[in-house]
């Protein structure tokens, strides 16, 4: 008797962020179209979180698929040391003018964690190349920047890092700016200013830390204080980039811009693994030297993969079309209406911290336990799947982050489910 895909999976696969002792059998997905995922029985699920925040144009988009196919027939990959190719150069040429800040160079890697690793290493080596002893790193509480060791180190200590805390390098953590705490933050900054190499932050939205939104005006004030101390600023836009916050990049809400910016997730429309670290000319020039030891010794086997770059170019084509930009604004507007309705309804007695930023809406279920390991998430996911929707709460934080192609009817179905969620 032929085994099902689920049974075969359970014999050979180790899934991410999964306790296999308690694992619900995985649902076999056989194809996708638009905002929908289809299982082997033909059931459809609205992908309300864009498959871990990467899918911005919908599944199996024919235009992106065609561009991937075209590139695969020409050049699938080539070492990116000593060689170059059109997709990598063109993508850099198109990205740099769009980014919020004065960036001059693009460094390619494979994903969000590696984009952050590159940024951290650039910052540390920048000061070493200048013979300056600035080695400390500043980051926010509740931050999350990835799962490799450098990106874990600059992430808040949590269940994600607990097993590795003894191996992570020291970081100075502080709260995100909020009314009443600015003087405290500036005092902490002044205490370590001469030693801090860089400050890394997720602009306006801390994703995996619980979809925490904070104020742009106060963040600008903090960035001004940080930059006055000649500290390199790293903006982690791995999640917030490419329209998620209602603007093309979250940095567009800010007056003060970063020296280094990290991108991934939506960059390829959710089709190919790709990471980008953009830096200013000031950063790049610190590595220009007749002394070869000042070289930036970092790279990946699949750096600037031509197929991935082609997918990113195709995604950018779609993103810059008027209908996509209108969809982003429409989802943002509908989210705002939905959040307003939740705030004024009886549902507020069972939920808290109702909030919205662009295409992202979130709230917490009141359970007395605000930790990531809160089991309420299993109940929400189960109910959602039974209603033809895929959601994956962060503990008791329920959120939506749909692809921009989601229809009005599909979006209303998600809203209606959340409004009548059984808690």
Residue 5 confidence (pLDDT) above 90: yes
Residue 44 confidence (pLDDT) above 70: yes
CB 116 within 8 A of CB 238: yes
Catalytic residue, chosen from 67, 134, 247, 265, is: 265
Residue 346 confidence (pLDDT) above 80: no
Catalytic residue, chosen from 47, 110, 156, 236, is: 236
pLDDT digits (tens, 9 = 90+) for 23-39: 989 999 999 999 999 99
Give the chain's end-to-end CA distance (angstroms, integer). 40
Mapped onto helix, strand or coil, the DSSP state of residue 32 is: strand
Residue 239 phi, psi dihedral angles, 5° rounding: -90, -45
Closest CA to 406 of 54, 65, 43, 55: 55
Which domains, and CATH codes, for the chain? 5-60+322-419 (3.90.1150.10), 65-319 (3.40.640.10)
Per-residue exposure over 356-388, b if at least 16 CB sit within 10 Å of its own CB, e if not:
bbbbbbbbbbbeeeeebebebbeebbebbbebb
Residue 386 pairs in a beta bridge with none
- Tell me, yes or no, if 133 is annotated catalytic: no
Helical packing angle, 182-192 and 216-228, nearest 10° = 20
Residue 347 confidence (pLDDT) above 70: no
Residue 348 confidence (pLDDT) above 70: no
CB 58 within 8 A of CB 405: yes
- Tell me, yes or no, if 165 is annotated catalytic: no
| CA distance linking residue 329 with residue 244, whole number of Å | 10
Q: Give the Cβ contact number of residue 111 at 10 Å.
A: 20
pLDDT digits (tens, 9 = 90+) for 94-147: 999 999 999 999 999 999 999 999 999 999 999 999 999 999 999 999 999 999
Element (H, E) at 329: helix 322-344
Residue 369 confidence (pLDDT) above 80: no
Looking at residue 370, its pLDDT comes to: 75
- Tell me, yes or no, if 265 is annotated catalytic: yes
Reported as a pLDDT band with limits 50, 70 and 90, residue 343 is confident
- Tell me, yes or no, if 372 is annotated catalytic: no
Q: How far is CA 38 from CA 41, 122, 244, 388, 389, in A?
A: 8, 42, 24, 10, 11
Catalytic residue, chosen from 45, 108, 126, 144, is: 144
Which two structure tokens, joined as six digits, stand for 37?
């995922």
Q: In what order do the strands lie in the sheet with 196-201?
A: 105-109, 275-279, 260-263, 232-236, 196-201, 136-140, 172-174
pLDDT digits (tens, 9 = 90+) for 184-232: 999 999 999 899 999 999 999 999 999 999 999 999 999 999 999 999 9
Element (H, E) at 355: strand 351-357
Looking at residue 368, its pLDDT comes to: 79
| CA distance linking residue 276 with residue 109, whole number of Å | 6
Catalytic residue, chosen from 17, 63, 69, 167, is: 17
CB 108 within 8 A of CB 118: no
| CA distance linking residue 155 with residue 235, whole number of Å | 13
| CA distance linking residue 334 with residue 340, whole number of Å | 10
Average pLDDT, the chain: 96
- List all residues 6 or more positions away from 84 whose beta carbon is below 8 Å from its beta carbon: none
């Amino acid at each position: 008797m032929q085994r099902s895909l689920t049974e075969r999976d359970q014999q050979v696969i180790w899934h991410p962020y999964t306790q296999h002792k308690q694992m619900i059998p995985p649902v076999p997905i056989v194809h996708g179209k638009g905002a929908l995922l289809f299982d082997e029985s033909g059931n459809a699920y609205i992908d309300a979180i864009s498959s871990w925040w990467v899918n911005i144009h919908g599944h199996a988009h024919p235009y992106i698929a065609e561009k991937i196919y075209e590139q695969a027939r020409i050049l699938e990959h080539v070492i990116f040391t000593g060689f170059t190719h059109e997709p990598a150069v063109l993508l850099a040429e198109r990205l740099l003018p769009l980014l919020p800040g004065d960036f001059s160079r693009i460094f390619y890697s494979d994903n969000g964690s590696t984009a952050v690793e590159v940024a951290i290493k650039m910052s540390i080596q920048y000061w070493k190349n200048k013979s300056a002893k600035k080695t400390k790193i500043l980051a926010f509480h509740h931050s999350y920047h990835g799962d490799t060791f450098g990106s874990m180190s600059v992430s808040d200590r949590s269940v994600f890092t607990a097993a590795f805390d003894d191996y992570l390098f020291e970081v100075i953590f502080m709260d995100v700016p909020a009314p009443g705490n600015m003087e405290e933050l500036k005092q902490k900054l002044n205490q370590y200013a001469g030693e801090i190499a860089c400050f890394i932050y997720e602009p306006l939205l801390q994703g995996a830390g619980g979809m925490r939104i904070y104020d742009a005006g106060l963040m600008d004030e903090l960035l001004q204080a940080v930059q006055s101390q000649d500290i390199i600023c790293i903006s982690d836009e791995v999640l917030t980039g490419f329209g998620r916050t209602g603007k093309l990049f979250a940095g567009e809400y800010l007056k003060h811009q970063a020296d280094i910016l990290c991108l991934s997730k939506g960059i390829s429309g959710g089709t190919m693994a790709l990471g980008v670290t953009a830096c200013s000319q000031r950063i790049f020039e610190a590595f220009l030297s007749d002394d070869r030891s000042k070289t930036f010794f970092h790279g990946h086997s699949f750096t600037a993969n031509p197929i991935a770059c082609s997918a990113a170019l195709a995604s950018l084509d779609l993103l810059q079309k008027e209908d996509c930009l209108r969809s982003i604004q429409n989802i943002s507007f509908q989210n705002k209406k939905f959040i307003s309705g939740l705030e004024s309804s009886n549902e507020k007695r069972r939920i808290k911290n109702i909030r919205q930023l662009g295409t992202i809406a979130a709230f917490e279920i009141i359970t007395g336990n605000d930790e990531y390991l809160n089991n309420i998430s299993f109940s929400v996911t189960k109910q959602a799947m039974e209603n033809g929707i895929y959601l994956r709460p962060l503990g008791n934080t329920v959120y939506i982050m749909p692809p921009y192609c989601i229809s009005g009817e599909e979006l209303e179905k998600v809203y209606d489910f959340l409004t009548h969620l059984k808690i």
